[in-house]
Structure 1
Amino acid sequence: MGTAITDCGRTTPTPCAPLDDPAAPAVTTHRPAAPFDAAVRAAVGQGLLSESHPVAGFVDSDGVRASVATLRAAFAHSPGVLHTFAAKASSLIPVLRLLADCGMGCEVASPGELRLAVEAGFAPGTIVLDSPAKTREEIRLALALGVAVNADSIDELRRIDALRNRDSAAVLGLRVNPQVGGGAIGPMSTATETSKFGVALRDPGAREAVVRAFEARPWLTRLHAHVGSQGCPLELIAAGVAQTYELAEEINERLGVRQVTSLDIGGGLPVNFTDDAVHPTYAAYVAALTTAAPGLFSGRYTLVTEFGRSLLAKNGFIGARVEYTKDAGGRRIALTHAGAQTATRTVFMPDSWPLRIGAFAADGSPKRGPGLAQDIAGPCCFAGDVVAHARELPELAEGDFVVLYDTGAYYFSTPWAYNSLPRPAVYGFRSTAPEGEVTFTTVREAQTMDAIAAESGLAHADALTGLG
């Protein structure tokens, strides 16, 4: 695309608090909702949001770059850090390529994500493969490419024993579960007593088995742990990293050699969905790690991080047209084209994944007026397809638009194909101040009806009737 429209000016980014100050308050580092107002109006003006294009996702490329810069600044004092992006948070090749251009690596958890990372241009040595169910073929490919692999179990190490070529450049590690407990959202907590991930360190005999596994494999040089993300406090995440650091020290002491040379400390910072403030910050995370494991940043180990949601969430939004409004039981309902197919977690776990909603007029300008309690519902054919309940917003009408903020990660990049609803188009954009010019580019085209039919087996339409 690359067309542009001049619109409302973009505000100057708010300066960050000093990154080396652990007591720094939550800050809005780049993106209060207001700067997206210009993007919404421009998207409507250019027809990216319209009656014929009723829903789309948008990615702020400058915001992504700013988030990566903030992450790097927080870890600047630590030598030898590879920051990887969790591909599942935005499995879109143009987004991944932008992150590669920013100097990021990529964490992948499936053959598909590995393919996307390679196509996006990440060097194999900056890709990390994590998955609890790697096939032999998946492991074989990763080793051949020189992609780092974190085994999820002792049994997987035995598989690698049989597949590994001594000439492989792949860094090999073992994931452990420090079993430090869960956060407020159970499904997002990966270091619980019975988590499916990693070797459960506190189970009888498990810690000794890990030490023996390293002793038997001089090529095993990395430890990996990941406590969780949304709903997990910094102290819990840091405690898991500290346990992993202590285990690395124990292994190296027992073996009498510095065999463990790197620690993959995962990622998963929670995101604040209640307002524009960015918290917890990367600086606060580093401060928590320093308190829990003072030696972590000494340079004894190179570090790998795996951030996803915290880099992208506040750098994107979903725009959707209001198709109808109605009243039921004294409640106003706005029927839009953004529901469970693009906001799956919010629809099914609204208390854990609440979203802020913006109301915009048919011309894309912010709506004004007194607040009215309204349900913002989606197009899916089940009663629970509601992204916001009784939300106080200016009264919406047919042809207006709603914006779902903080949806730059997971939401529009990995839609759900319920009701055979098409995947929405995704656009990247830049805004310039003081001119307020908004430039868009296509990240992913909207899925066509032909593509939906093809994915649904059109080429084999007679397969079952032909069986007789």
Structure 2
Amino acid sequence: MSPSPGGEAALRRERVIRAAVREGLTDPDEAVLAAFVDLDGVAALVAALRSAFPASLSVRHTFAAKANSLVPVLEHLRLHGMGCEVASAGELDRATAAGFGPELIVFDSPAKTRAELARALRLGVAVNVDNFQELERVDALLAANPSASPLGVRVNPQVGAGSIEAMSTATDTSKFGIALDDEGNRARLIDAFRERPWLTWLHTHVGSQGIAPELTARGLARTVELADEINSTLGRRQVVGIDIGGGLSVDFDSDDPDPGFDGYVAALRRHAPRLLSGDYRLVTEFGRALLAKNGFMTAFVEYTKTAGGRPVAITHAGAHVATRTVFRPDAWPLRVTAHDPSGRQKRGDVLAQDVAGPCCFAGDLLATARPLPRLAPGDLVAVLDTGAYAFSTPFHYNSLPVPAVYGFSTAADGEVRFRTLRPAGGPD
């Protein structure tokens, strides 16, 4: 997991860190932990996503706000043509604050309250209903106040799990959606659409990290089959669109920024060709694939010691900003690079070291026995691929301060320019 000190991406990252040090964005006393988002990289991946789908299709690409809910990041995505998928009232607040109109927002959650549903329907955002009980709530709300919201039902195609069980949402017993193969559910779904002409969408999401595109495509193929069956049985084109979710895995082992949108669409062509026929409008909900590799953190090394003969570096990045890595390092390993106090990447001989965080429990480790140049107090470590589900949604263990987040872009002359996306201690 130790990246090479060379390579174009590594050299560019080093330039960014050195520029951040010069501008005082990192400081061993005042800014011991800072985070950075590559705004140019985000824009490039949005363009790659859009170009991967045939231009002949009607596709609304939305960003899963849970992956990085910072309002300036959401606004940046909106300005590059993205919509926004939200899974809570708080994320809906952030989407509207970022300027997304209701026609650009999709509301998904397995636990929508009556008040949340009423608000979404009043605003006119798209809503994906998770279960039959929720559908009855929507019936009552619409009877009192008609809505312009596009309305759909989430189904679980029950095609199995990927390599990370917790990220797999189409298992037989997943908590999400209506289980398609459970006894009576398919007929009940068709009846639900028959009785509700305003139900015009289907939604499915097979899972995210650890899900092969082929598994996603098989789940989507089952959903398209259901859409065709509903329309055929009802004798009318009622289902007009399919929300296909996201779920493209990120390579956390390299600097390759491309998660493979072209390969994802190729898998859809092989395993779910009807989806790309043009008969249905599509919505996507990618999150991690767009942001993870476009963010990193820098943390100062406060102390070094040896325990059991192994060097340990105590840093200011731990479970509060890399929660999944600390608690499930087997599933969520992160790359770490070593830098001197100026930000220059350290070269030379490496030795196995633990990279620990500041949280007051023994398991707060970013890396164990990781081969790195020897770290010393005052050095910096860069924690890579953390643009999603990390510093943007901190875990408030020990009431540790929320780190500042800076967006950066590179001018034609090579100058790195920063802007504050979230001040230190600011709202997360």
TM over 0.5: yes
Aligned partner of 2:23 among 43, 46, 52 = 46
Instruction: Give the equivalent residue in structure 2 for 1:3.
Output: none
After superposition, give the CA deviation of every residue in 1:154-186 in whole Å (9 maximum; x if it has no partner).
111110000026642100000000000001111
After superposition, give the CA deviation of every residue in 1:275-322 in whole Å (9 maximum; x if it has no partner).
112464000000101111112112110000000000001111011000
Instruction: Give the equivalent residue in structure 1 for 2:236.
Output: 257
Contact 2:72 2:98 in 1 (8 A): yes
Counterparts in 2 of 1:117-136, with a 5 A limit? 117-136=95-114
For the residue of structure 1 that corresponds to 2:337, the secondary structure is: strand
Instruction: Give the equivalent residue in structure 1 for 2:81.
Output: 103
Runs of 4+ in 1 over 6 A off after TM superposition: none
Contact 2:156 2:204 in 1 (8 A): yes
Contact 1:309 1:409 in 2 (8 A): yes
For the residue of structure 1 that corresponds to 2:160, the secondary structure is: coil
Does 1:244 find its partner at 2:211?
no
Distance 1:336 1:166 in 2: 54
Instruction: Give the equivalent residue in structure 1 for 2:271.
Output: 292
Does 1:151 find its partner at 2:133?
no
Q: Compute the RMSD of aligned alpha carbons.
A: 1.5
After superposition, give the CA deviation of every residue in 1:346-386 in whole Å (9 maximum; x if it has no partner).
00010110111111001111111101111110000000000
Instruction: Give the equivalent residue in structure 2 for 1:447.
Output: 425
After superposition, give the CA deviation of every residue in 1:118-173 in whole Å (9 maximum; x if it has no partner).
01001101100000000011000001101000000011111000002664210000
Contact 1:58 1:427 in 2 (8 A): yes
**What is the identity, as a one-letter code, of the residue corresponding to 1:134?**
K
Does 1:173 find its partner at 2:152?
yes
**What is the identity, as a one-letter code, of the residue corresponding to 1:322?**
V
Aligned partner of 2:359 among 374, 380, 399 = 380
Contact 1:338 1:379 in 2 (8 A): yes
Instruction: Give the equivalent residue in structure 2 for 1:33.
Output: 10
Counterparts in 2 of 1:421-460, with a 5 A limit? 421-433=400-412, 435-447=413-425
**What is the identity, as a one-letter code, of the residue corresponding to 2:132?**
I
Distance 1:279 1:231 in 2: 16
TM-score, normalised with respect to structure 2? 0.96
Instruction: Give the equivalent residue in structure 2 for 1:456.
Output: none
**What is the identity, as a one-letter code, of the residue corresponding to 2:123?**
L
Deviates further, 185-194 or 272-281: 272-281
Contact 1:78 1:298 in 2 (8 A): no
Contact 1:424 1:445 in 2 (8 A): yes
After superposition, give the CA deviation of every residue in 1:37-86 in whole Å (9 maximum; x if it has no partner).
11101111111111120001100110000000000000133421000000
Instruction: Give the equivalent residue in structure 2 for 1:320.
Output: 299
After superposition, give the CA deviation of every residue in 1:178-218 in whole Å (9 maximum; x if it has no partner).
00000111110000010000000011111111111101100
Does 1:398 find its partner at 2:377?
yes
Does 1:87 find its partner at 2:65?
yes
Distance 1:33 1:256 in 2: 57
Contact 1:313 1:409 in 2 (8 A): yes
Task: Report the CA distance between 1:397 and its aligned residue.
Answer: 0.4
> Could you list the runs of 5+ residues in structure 2 that have no partner in the other structure?
1-5
For the residue of structure 1 that corresponds to 2:244, the secondary structure is: strand
After superposition, give the CA deviation of every residue in 1:87-122 in whole Å (9 maximum; x if it has no partner).
000010000000000110000000000000001001
Instruction: Give the equivalent residue in structure 2 for 1:15.
Output: none
Contact 2:206 2:216 in 1 (8 A): yes
Instruction: Give the equivalent residue in structure 2 for 1:189.
Output: 168
Distance 1:154 1:254 in 2: 20
Distance 1:217 1:194 in 2: 27
**What is the identity, as a one-letter code, of the residue corresponding to 2:351?**
L
For the residue of structure 1 that corresponds to 2:361, the secondary structure is: coil
> Could you list the runs of 5+ residues in structure 1 that have no partner in the other structure?
1-10, 12-27, 453-468
TM-score, normalised with respect to structure 1? 0.88
**What is the identity, as a one-letter code, of the residue corresponding to 1:379?**
P
Instruction: Give the equivalent residue in structure 1 for 2:193.
Output: 214
